[in-house]
Amino acid sequence: MVFEKDYSNLYDRFYRDKNYSQECDLIEAVFKRCQTKPRTILDLGCGTGSHATLLAKRGYAVTGVDRSLHMLETAKEKARAENADISFIQQDISRLTPELLKGQTFDAVISMFAVIGYLTENDQLARTFHNIREFLKPGGVFLFDCWYGPAVLSQRPESRVHSYDIGDSRRVLRLVTPELDSLRQVVNINYRVLEIKGDRVLSDVSETHRMRYLFPMETKYFLETAGFRDIGLDPFEDMGRELTPNDWNMLVTAV
């Protein structure tokens, strides 16, 4: 299991330096490039709701979906604190169907921070893209980012250690140990999270996140098979430039 309680409760601290506002600017830049002005947005894999809350404050009607109850609890608290009116649904995005959304359709569907990479099997990816096409109104935009295969194979994932002060003389160490499985086109990311006070370990939890990386032609194939036709592939946060093996994240737009 991933995004269990202990890991989820620390998630926002792990990514406190992530510029969600800038990423929401990017989302709106995509809308402008696609010459659309959406009102309703479906946020798949919304996590703790950082994108959803900011977008709601910018005037969009947002529905957030995530499989982790613990992440959604934080998202709901965040939305309440910001007076953001957001609907949240607990569901694995690969199992979300039009019926579960009660036939509601959206002007745009987003899936940020490499959420699509958690769909490691071909049937998951195909089914999810097909359903997303059903979730969209005619002319609606699908936007997501993912790990770019040539960069993953060129740069190779590296082990890292991060330290976070959490107050009361406590700190958290997050050890990241990736294992590349090129045959299955995934990286198994082993997280070990230790909460430490002085010389005592208060907790020690582990999760393994399997992340798929994608290549341009397979990405287009899955999207085209799902019914999308106008597909754009760009470096994340640098639209208009050609992708290179130095670009770890790929921005994908489809209409």
Domain ranges, ordered by start, for the chain = 5-149+214-254, 151-211
Element (H, E) at 28: helix 20-33
Cα–Cα distance measured from residue 140 to residue 229, given in angstroms and rounded to the nearest whole number? 12
- What is the pLDDT, as a whole number, of residue 92? 98
- What is the pLDDT, as a whole number, of residue 229? 94
- At the fourth CATH level, the homologous superfamily of domain 5-149+214-254 is Vaccinia Virus protein VP39 (3.40.50.150)
- What is the pLDDT, as a whole number, of residue 1? 87
8 A C-beta contact, residue 79 and residue 56: yes
- What is the pLDDT, as a whole number, of residue 69? 98
- What is the pLDDT, as a whole number, of residue 209? 98
CA dihedral 14→88→190→148, nearest 10 degrees, is -90
- What is the pLDDT, as a whole number, of residue 76? 98
- What is the pLDDT, as a whole number, of residue 237? 84
- At the fourth CATH level, the homologous superfamily of domain 151-211 is CAC2371-like domains (2.20.130.10)
- What is the pLDDT, as a whole number, of residue 216? 98
Token representation of residue 124: 């998951």
Ranges under pLDDT 50 in the chain: none
Is 147 exposed, middle or buried (CB count within 10 Å of its CB: 0-12, 13-18, 19+)? buried
- What is the pLDDT, as a whole number, of residue 26? 98
- What is the pLDDT, as a whole number, of residue 168? 87
- What is the pLDDT, as a whole number, of residue 50? 98
